[in-house]
Amino acid sequence: MWEASALATAKREAEAEVAAVVASAKAKAQRQMRAESEAAAAEARAAADRSAAADRKEAAAARAAKRKKAAADDAQKAKAADAPSLTLRGAGGGGNGGGGGVGGGKPKGVAVYLLTWHEDNFFGYYTDLLTSIRCLYKFFLKPYGYGVVVFVYGNMPAAKKTELRARLPAGVDITIKSITFDYPRKIAADVDGYMNKHCVVTKPNGKTYHAWPEKKCGCGCGGPICWHLNYLHMNRFFTYGQWKLWRDDAELRQYEWYMRVDVDLFLQKQVPFDPFARMAQKGCVFMTGTSAFEAEGCYEGQHAATLKFAAEHGNEVGGAALYPENVKKLKPSENYWGGWNMGHINTFKSAAHLAYADYINEDGRIYTMRWNDQVHFAQAIALLTKDNGVCKEPEMFGEGTTSTDGLGSHQFVHMHGGGDAKGVIDKCMLD
């Protein structure tokens, strides 16, 4: 009996030992399989990483090649843009202003508007634009044979563009270009962080007003107020962004002279001479009525920044001389009115001006102090031209009253909402 029990016990122990050996072997095999599987997965990941790295390297090389080509293209464009401006009076040469007007045929000029599109025409910009172009056509475009470019910011439907053309006189040669606004690089990296820090003003009651939640900045320009973001974007566009378009857009590249007109400016009598031909004949870089002076809080630091740009570049950009001594002759607040002015496109799309304009924009105060195109033009022209090639024509730029009737004999009226004013509309009807 005892022997049988002992044998049973020994058998169970042997079976348990065998089971343990089998389980150990099985576990070892499973561990080995897992290790092999993990090794295979690691190798697959490593191979994928190597492939991704190779792809990134290839993509980086492609981007570098693209940037190199773009830089070469920009340099070629800038070189082509720079060449005509060297014949201008302001650039130290004589000549006919880049081939237009004197001995070179009709100047390649065009009128220019910027329209901020609102679907409901809330601010009346669209109505003002229609009437302004009608006035411009009657008193300038038709008599002298020029066209008009309208830059449109905002999602203006194609049907509205068609309507705009249809509501203008049949002879208006109009080109419509959709544009976007962007920020300088130093702001674009953290727009909200930068603007929340800088878009602040203390009100007369002593309270601090944080303007950026309402998409305003430029606080303190003209008093304890702040300016809407679109206005600040506009200043960036007129000082910098538009000149890249004139340089790069195949349709715009043909033009050498521009006449900027605000949408709420309405000519009231014929321009007394072809101003593009006058500019070409005199070799002007810019044409305005007279110098004006900016309000406090809107320009401080800009004059010093311009001189700093010249110093940092050794008074030369890409072979083009800079003339800081001309800038020093300007009062820091001196400016040329932005609502209606004219200029030499090739000068402003040149490599030298684009470098300067980019420098001023990257300072950031176009947004935080509302530095503007009016002061910019005064300083840019002084900096870039040997004898400050500004032509002043008071006869052409005399501003009229802002009433809706009794407009008199002034050259133009500047009035927001004038597109609906009977006195303005009647004056601009074609005979």
**Does 78 map to a domain?**
no
Range list of H helices, 86-124 = none
Quick check: is 367 in a domain? Answer: yes
Domain that holds residue 5: 1-65
3 state SS of 172: coil
Q: Verify that 370 and 280 share a domain, yes or no.
A: yes
Quick check: is 335 in a domain? yes
The alpha helices in 290-368, defined as continuous H runs, are 302-312, 324-329, 345-348, 351-363, 365-368
pLDDT band at 25 (very low <50, low <70, confident <90, very high): low
Judge whether 79 lies within some domain. no
Question: Of 132, 97, 99, which is closest to residue 115 (Cα–Cα)?
Answer: 132
| CA dist., res. 100 & res. 280, Å (int) | 6
> What domain count does the chain have?
2
d(CA 67, CA 62): 9
Q: How do residues 99-114 score in pLDDT, each as one tens digit? A: 444 446 899 999 999 9
Q: How many helices (H) and strands (E) does the chain have?
A: 16, 17
Q: Are residues 33 and 93 in the same domain?
A: no
Confidence category of residue 365, pLDDT binned at 50, 70, 90: very high
Closest CA to 158 of 113, 112, 117, 114: 117
- Strand ranges for 249-349 from DSSP E: 257-261, 265-267, 286-288, 291-293, 316-317, 320-321, 334-336, 340-344
Please tell me the least confidently modeled range out of 6-10, 165-169, 262-266.
6-10
- Residue 86, pLDDT > 70, answer no
Instruction: With residue 95 as reference, give the H or E element that holds it.
Output: none
Domain-located, residue 131: yes
Same domain for 60 and 91, yes or no, is: no
At 378, which CATH number?
3.90.550.10
Q: Report pLDDT for 4.
A: 55
3-state class of 216 per DSSP?
strand
> Residues 389-402: pLDDT tens digits?
999 988 777 654 44
Mark whether 313 and 385 lie in a shared domain: yes
Residue 29 lies in a domain: yes
Tokens of 326: 């001309």
47 band by pLDDT with thresholds 50, 70 and 90: low
74, part of any domain: no
Q: How far apart are CA 227 and CA 230, in angstroms?
A: 8
Residues 119 and 44 in one domain: no
Domain end point (choices 65, 99, 115): 65
Per-residue pLDDT, 383: 98
- Which of 12, 31, 65 finishes a domain? 65
Planar angle of CA 161, 162, 166, nearest 5 degrees = 120
Spatial neighbors of 229 by CB under 8 A, at least 6 apart, are 215, 216, 217
Domain shared by 356 and 239, yes or no:
yes
Asked if 234 and 215 touch (Cβ cutoff 8 Å), the reply is: no
Query: Does residue 235 sit in the same domain as residue 382?
Result: yes
Comparing C-alpha atoms, which of 229, 218, 224, 196 is closest to residue 302?
218
Q: Which residues pair with 291 in a beta bridge?
A: 336
| Mean pLDDT, rounded, of the chain | 84
H/E/C letters for each residue in 384-428? HCCCCCEEECCCCCCECCCCCCCCCCCCEEECCCHHHCHHHHHHC
254 with 365, same domain: the answer is yes
Tell whether 71 is covered by a domain: no
- Most confident range (mean pLDDT) of 7-21, 134-148, 198-212 is 134-148
Work out whether strand 208-210 and strand 200-202 pair parallel, antiparallel, or are unpaired: antiparallel
Give the N- to C-terminal CA distance of the chain in Å, as an integer.
137
Interatomic CA distance for residues 310 and 163, integer angstroms:
47
Position 136 scores a pLDDT of: 96
Q: Final residue of a domain: which of 65, 94, 118?
A: 65
d(CA 175, CA 237) in angstroms, rounded, equals 18
Mean pLDDT value across residues 59-70: 55
| 58 shares its domain with 119 | no
- Asked if 19 and 113 sit in the same domain, the reply is no
Three-class DSSP category at 359: helix
Predicted confidence at residue 102, as pLDDT, reads 40
**171, 237: one domain:** yes
pLDDT in tens, 168-213: 999 999 999 999 999 999 999 999 999 999 999 988 888 999 999 9
CA distance 331 to 104: 37
Q: Are residues 6 and 54 in the same domain?
A: yes
